[in-house]
């Protein structure tokens, strides 16, 4: 199946570069380019693509508002382009329905991988990354009783949502709840359907917004957040080894300064 894509960025060179990279893939077709958010929304309505790649800062209509409009109009999934280090709009974009994020200096293989991941209905972020991202853009708040939106969930579905918010993969949730991965997938699907959520990222946001979990909450037992799942590590495109990179020799260190081996995200 060919993945149909709209690319929107007000910088023509950036937009054309992304479109060229994606257009060279045998399973991806760039059906339109747009120079601002309004053009992007119009292009999505005209061409009905599978994925829209949106710059977060555009004239007339920014990426967040374009993302919201596209999500309300149909099934097209959106990926936000952001500088991340300086943008403070990530949480708002997640809430608007974005399925993932890319840095503006994204590598070619990562760009292609991101479009394919989002097109098949998955979130662009690994579960543990989603939790850290939401915590960064959610201010800590006093503990409150989970609101009534969660009353539609069964006890096991509520447990599943809590573990999603703590960054667990399906395999990790299955191990913790002593059920099969197939059962976990069923629970996750029920959570998304009952709460009218688009994907796992929005499920994490919902868990924070409803008070099921608060920013800064430690995992049970105070353990460190789980490492990225093995499935994510296998499927993510790998960067080639870089000679002289100090991380190759020193390895990855956790928050306590302990060496845990090669950095899984490098």
Which CATH architecture does the domain made up of 3-124 adopt?
Answer: 3-Layer(aba) Sandwich (3.40)
- Give the closest residue to 226 by CA, choosing from 266, 264, 188, 183: 264
Predicted pLDDT at 97: 84
pTM over 0.75: no
Predicted pLDDT at 187: 95
Indicate the domain borders of the chain: 3-124, 136-222
Predicted pLDDT at 128: 47
Rounded to whole angstroms, how far apart are CA atoms 150 and 130?
20
Predicted pLDDT at 102: 80
Rounded to whole angstroms, how far apart are CA atoms 34 and 14?
11
- Angle of helix 181-194 relative to helix 200-209, nearest 10 degrees? 60
| One pLDDT digit (tens) per residue for the chain, 266 residues | 899 999 999 999 999 999 999 999 999 999 999 999 999 999 999 999 999 999 988 999 999 999 999 988 888 999 988 776 555 666 777 778 888 878 777 889 988 998 998 998 877 764 545 555 656 655 555 555 657 889 999 999 999 999 988 888 889 999 999 999 999 999 999 999 999 888 888 888 888 888 888 765 655 544 444 444 444 444 444 544 444 443 333 444 444 444 444 443 33
Contacts of 204 (CB under 8 A, 6+ apart): 130, 131, 134, 164, 165
Q: How many Cα atoms are found within 13 Å in the side-chain-facing hemisphere of 224?
A: 10
Predicted pLDDT at 78: 92
Predicted pLDDT at 143: 55
Show the tokens assigned to 106.
């994204």
Number of residues in the chain:
266
What fold, for 136-222?
Answer: Arc Repressor Mutant, subunit A (1.10.10)
How far, in Å, are 58, 91, 202 from residue 69 at the CA level?
14, 17, 17
């Amino acid at each position: 199946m060919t993945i149909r894509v709209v690319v929107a960025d007000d910088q023509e060179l950036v937009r054309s570069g992304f479109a060229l990279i994606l257009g060279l893939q045998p399973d991806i077709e760039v059906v339109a380019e747009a120079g601002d958010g309004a053009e992007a929304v119009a292009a999505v309505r005209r061409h009905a693509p599978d994925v829209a790649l949106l710059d977060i800062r555009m004239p007339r209509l920014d990426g967040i508002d374009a993302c919201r409009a596209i999500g309300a109009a149909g099934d097209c999934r959106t990926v936000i382009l952001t500088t991340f280090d300086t943008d403070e709009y990530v949480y708002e974009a997640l809430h608007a329905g974005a399925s993932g994020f890319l840095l503006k200096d994204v590598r070619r293989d990562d760009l292609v991988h991101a479009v394919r991941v989002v097109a098949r209905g998955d979130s662009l972020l690994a579960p543990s990354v989603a939790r850290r991202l939401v915590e960064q853009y959610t201010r800590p708040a006093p503990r409150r009783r989970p609101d009534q939106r969660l009353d539609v969930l069964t006890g096991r579905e509520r447990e599943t949502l809590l573990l999603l918010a703590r960054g667990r993969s399906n395999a990790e949730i299955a191990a913790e709840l002593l059920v099969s991965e197939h059962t976990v997938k069923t629970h996750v699907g029920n959570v998304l359907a009952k709460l009218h959520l688009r994907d796992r990222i929005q499920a994490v946001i919902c868990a924070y917004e409803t008070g099921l979990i608060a920013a800064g909450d430690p995992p049970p037992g105070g353990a460190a957040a789980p490492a990225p799942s093995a499935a994510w590590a296998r499927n993510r495109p790998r960067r080639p080894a870089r000679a002289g990179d100090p991380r190759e020799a020193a390895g990855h260190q956790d928050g306590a300064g302990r060496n845990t081996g090669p950095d899984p995200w490098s």
